[in-house]
Copies of this chain bind each other. A is one copy, B any other.
Amino acid sequence: MSIKISDKQQVLDKIIDQYDYFLFDCDGVLWLGDHLLPSVSETLEYLKSKDKTVIFVTNNSTKSRGDYLKKFQKMGIEGITKSEIFGSAYATAIYVDKILKLPKDKLVWVLGEEGIETELKEVGYSTIGGLDPELTQDGVNFNPNNPLLDNLNPNVGAVVCGLTFQINYLKLSLTMQYLIHNDKKLPFIATNIDSTFPMKGKLLVGAGSIIETVAYASGRQPDAICGKPNQSMMNAIKAQLPGLAENPKRGLMIGDRLNTDMKFGRNGGLDTMLVLTGIETEDNVKSLPEEEAPTFYIDKLGDIYEFTH
């Protein structure tokens, strides 16, 4: 049964005293789209003043860690560093480099945006596809004689798929061609498989839903999924925080989604806290079986500050 955090004493006894490492999902926890949630900055400053380590974990692959730093600044959240940010685009680049060990002279075909392109470039890969304007020169119209369809690049060594708002039939069909090319041998890597993407109070089409198109069309499923709840991102975080790796129970994963954030924390051995500012409701939480129930839930992240001040 999840415990609701609803007063000062609970915050102090159950949260502040118990955890040293606070992992946060971003969308739905810190902000909703471009709207910062109440008392979020103050909560982060309060935790840092108590010498807590904060880490931001996001499945949104459209942004690189650098883009996220700018977003924190734009939101008025100060003092965040790149090393505190783990995005699915970054986790994907780490996967391609360290696990897949793709040679650096191989190209990566990207169905996705700048976040993926930037993170792959930072570890030394060149990408094709992605936001290349050549792929959108006909806009939403499809030219079946587009020469790109007949000229797959033989140096492509992996296919990375994630969220893109700039989608068209050519990009989907080209991604499919690389996936079926050469007896379906090119590794197929998903940044994450969230079905929906929260934006401005609505749920829009998520990375996982776009990936379903090319998966179904090619008759394949991704060989690897890099974002939450997959543990490759958690392993990267633990590699950076030996204290968390040694004692995961000193870590609290805070998020708004049961099937990604809470699962991610739980599978990593951390305790978990669900916020109700995202897609889950209090009724949902209360009806969960014990093995899926988060350790805690709270109306909003900012309550940690508001209850104690």
Contact = CB atoms under 8 A, between A and B. Distances in A.
B165 A141 contact: yes
Interface of A is mostly: mixed
Given A140-B136, A140-B168, A219 B195 contact: yes
Interface in A143-175: 144-145, 149, 164-169, 172-173
A309 interface: no
A215 B213 CA distance: 10
A208 interface: yes
Interface stretch (A50-58, A199-207, A243-251): A199-207
Contact of A136 (B33, B139, B176): B139
A221 B209 CA distance: 13
Contact of A172 (B144, B145, B205, B214): B205
Nearest to A33: B144
A219 to B, nearest CB: 7
A217 B202 contact: no
A195 B209 contact: no
Contact of A195 (B142, B165, B208, B217): B217
Contacts of A195: 216-217, 219
Given A141-B165, A149-B200, A209-B214, 9 more contacts: A33-B144, A142-B166, A145-B200, A164-B169, A167-B169, A168-B168, A172-B209, A195-B217, A212-B212
Per CB-CB distance, the 7 closest pairs between chain A and chain B, nearest first, are A209-B217, A142-B165, A139-B139, A212-B212, A173-B204, A209-B216, A212-B216
